Chain A
Amino acid sequence: GENVEQHPSTLSVQEGDSAVIKCTYSDSASNYFPWYKQELGKRPQLIIDIRSNVGEKKDQRIAVTLNKTAKHFSLHITETQPEDSAVYFCAAIAPFMGGGADGLTFGKGTHLIIQP
């Protein structure tokens, strides 16, 4: 099945600086890559996603890049603000093959700390 590795597990940056979180996946058939943000004590919420036919996607201060050849994708947050402090999860999904897990696999998460 799919395996998603996420790095780093903890990332501390100064407010206003950029943050980059990286994920690699193992199944070359994976075609959907969402990123979820989980604030302390709350549920995960989707912040951005990308499909395999696109190399980059931006939404204001957040961007995601995808390198299918290398099987890795990254989350970029620019001009970080205190409210960006949270745990971020990447995920990858491979086409449903029937039986077993449906291919949606999450990374272990990155705790992003924004230092004032």
Chain B
Amino acid sequence: EAQVTQNPRYLITVTGKKLTVTCSQNMNHEYMSWYRQDPGLGLRQIYYSMNVEVTDKGDVPEGYKVSRKEKRNFPLILESPSPNQTSLYFCASSLQQGWAGSEQFFGPGTRLTVL
């Protein structure tokens, strides 16, 4: 089954404790991205990757890191989480992006709470 998976689905942590949210897709998509969803603010892009070893900042990258060592995986890293990073996070992948635009397939989401 074609899908995007994220782990963990729920996470409660404390300020300053490094964490990683994994994202994996099995559709051989080149493009992957991370969004955070907050009430009243919609979906805001954190980072995206056009292909392996190619990543770039989205609209709200501060406090986050990503890596793309393999085509299928795109982990999101919070080196020192703070309470303002409490949010619902979605990973997404698509066949292509840039000028062409194509459907983004979203993962199930990770609800993160930073105390």
Task: Give chain A's interface residues, CB within 8 Å of chain B.
Answer: 1, 6, 9, 31-32, 34, 36, 42-46, 49, 51, 89, 93-96, 99-109
Residue in chain B with minimal CB distance to A4: B42
Complex contacts, A101 vs chain B, CB 8 Å: 45, 48, 57-59
Q: Given known contacts A44-B104, A106-B35, what 19 new A-B pairs fall within 8 Å (CB)? A: A1-B59, A31-B99, A34-B103, A43-B108, A43-B109, A49-B101, A49-B103, A89-B43, A93-B99, A95-B98, A96-B98, A99-B56, A100-B57, A102-B48, A102-B58, A104-B45, A104-B104, A108-B42, A109-B42
**A108's contact among B33, B40, B101, B109, by CB below 8 Å, is which?**
B40
Task: Give chain B's interface residues, CB within 8 Å of chain A.
Answer: 33, 35, 40-45, 48, 50, 56-59, 90, 97-101, 103-104, 106-109
Complex contacts, A109 vs chain B, CB 8 Å: 42
Given contacts A31-B99, A43-B108, contact A102 B41 (CB under 8 A): no
* B57 in contact with A106 (CB, 8 Å): no
Interface CB pairs A-B, < 8 A, 26: A6-B42, A31-B99, A31-B101, A32-B100, A34-B101, A34-B103, A43-B106, A46-B103, A46-B104, A49-B101, A49-B103, A89-B42, A89-B43, A100-B56, A101-B48, A101-B57, A102-B48, A102-B50, A102-B56, A102-B98, A104-B33, A104-B45, A105-B45, A106-B44, A108-B40, A109-B42
